Amino acid sequence: GAVVSQHPSRVICKSGTSVKIECRSLDFQATTMFWYRQFPKQSLMLMATSNEGSKATYEQGVEKDKFLINHASLTLSTLTVTSAHPEDSSFYICSAQGSGRETQYFGPGTRLLVL
């Protein structure tokens, strides 16, 4: 099956700092990657969709200047949370989709805690 990795799995940072999360598709080329956010006992909330080599498309209410997404290659997308604040603490999950595929394969998630 398709494997998607995320790094780091957990990060604790001080308020005001920036945090970068990497998402990699290990055994297939991901033409599209998605970034989700999940609060405890809540469902996944789509933040943005990114296609390789293009600017990301952000969902309504998601600040594109705060959540910077880069999808520079067919196997790597990054999410940078800039000037993080405690309310940004959450579980961030990426998923990847290859061309011609309708399914998404998820990474294991990154737990962010902003102090």
Partner 1 sequence: QKEVEQDPGPLSVPEGAIVSLNCTYSNSAFQYFMWYRQYSRKGPELLMYTYSSGNKEDGRFTAQVDKSSKYISLFIRDSQPSDSATYLCAMSGDTPLVFGKGTRLSVIA
60 touches partner 1 by CB under 8 A: no
d(Cα 65, Cα 104) in Å, to the nearest integer?
26
58 touches partner 1 by CB under 8 A: no
DSSP lists the bridge partners of residue 34 as 49, 95
d(Cα 66, Cα 80) in Å, to the nearest integer?
8
Q: How far is the CB of 94 from partner 1 (least distance, A)?
A: 8
Q: Which is nearer to partner 1, 44 or 74 (CB)?
A: 44
Which of 79, 105, 112, 114 is in the footprint of partner 1 by CB under 8 A? 105
Q: How far is the CB of 105 from partner 1 (least distance, A)?
A: 6
Segment interacting with partner 1 (CB under 8 A) among 12-20, 40-48, 73-81, 82-90: 40-48
d(Cα 110, Cα 6) in Å, to the nearest integer?
7
**CA-based R_g, the chain, Å:** 13
Residue 33 CA: distances (Å) to CA of 15, 40, 74: 27, 23, 9
106 touches partner 1 by CB under 8 A: yes
Q: Which is nearer to partner 1, 52 or 82 (CB)?
A: 52
